[in-house]
Structure 1
Amino acid sequence: MSKNIDRQLEEGRKVLMKGVDGDKQAVKKAHEIFLTLRDAEPNNAVVEAYYGSALALLGRDAVKPIEKADNAEEGLEALNRAVSMNPNNKEIRLLRANVCLRLPESFFQCSSTAIKDYTFLLNQYKKDPGYLSKNQVREIIKDLATAYQNAGKASEGKRAMQQWNQLK
């Protein structure tokens, strides 16, 4: 990637985080940034993942139910493509897991995907403790427990929470 692409990617990340925090204009701007980057770098899995995340946020902020669903579906498809392109990328797995965790299970049934991604990340951490920070591990275990609960697997969720409580 060129320095210009790297700069745009970093700018897009910052803007997207404002969108995650509720800034609807930032979501639109992030979508534009990642759409432009996607055109410039069609085989870049990280760009594809951020594009998918931005689409999911557009869905979150949409007023019309069909627009919400369409954007969320397109976002998930982009995130799945990104994982297919680079299945071992930590950032991509975190993005997809976090989007899947926040989508309504009754409509999207993607808690199992979040569980798979969080489990993958924790397994990588077991192999290499430098892979994630302690704070990331705590957050992932907490989110894993929530994903299990969303998927109707309360006992697995409780087990994950027990792990999380041991790390506090």
Structure 2
Amino acid sequence: MDTPLPETYPTQCCLPCEKELNLMLYLHQVVGPNANQKTTIPTKPGESLFGITAVNNWAIVDAPDFKAKVVGHAQGIHVMADQPSVGYYNSFNLAFVEGSFKGATLQVMGIFNPVGEWAIIGGTGELTMARGTIKYKILQESAGIESIRELNIRAFYTPPSALVVKGA
């Protein structure tokens, strides 16, 4: 038998309070000397790039400059999963190493193109239960060896302090 709904509802939210995150950071990718990515599954010369796989530890910096301060790392993999064009499937943890989010992570995934958007599908530490998007675009390139991408990060998250049950 179904329980009837109460005639009045509590005025307080039963869910933890969320905060909004709006950050502008920059991804510094290095392919050549001092690379911060490495191909782990190559393709043969003359073959398409389909299937090529690389691991990455891209620097996340606080300014659009090749020598800017590192505030985090995008640690993960990218795989060429698009046969007709160049589109890498990308999955990484954005791990913060400086600032107010030091020790926190965002779990990110999506297609890696010159311009696009990734999904934020989780987070840890201060960014627990994050969800949102990162819009990105290339700002600078240096002879195809280095690039700087602008990351416009927008997410909602539940800080650990909001998860504490009061009165328990």
TM range (shorter): under 0.3
Q: TM-score, normalised by structure 1?
A: 0.24
Which one has the bigger helix percentage? 1
Greater RCO, 1 or 2 (C-alpha within 8 Å, sep 6+): 2
**Max Rg structure:** 2
Could you state the TM-score of these two structures normalised by the residue count of structure 2? 0.24
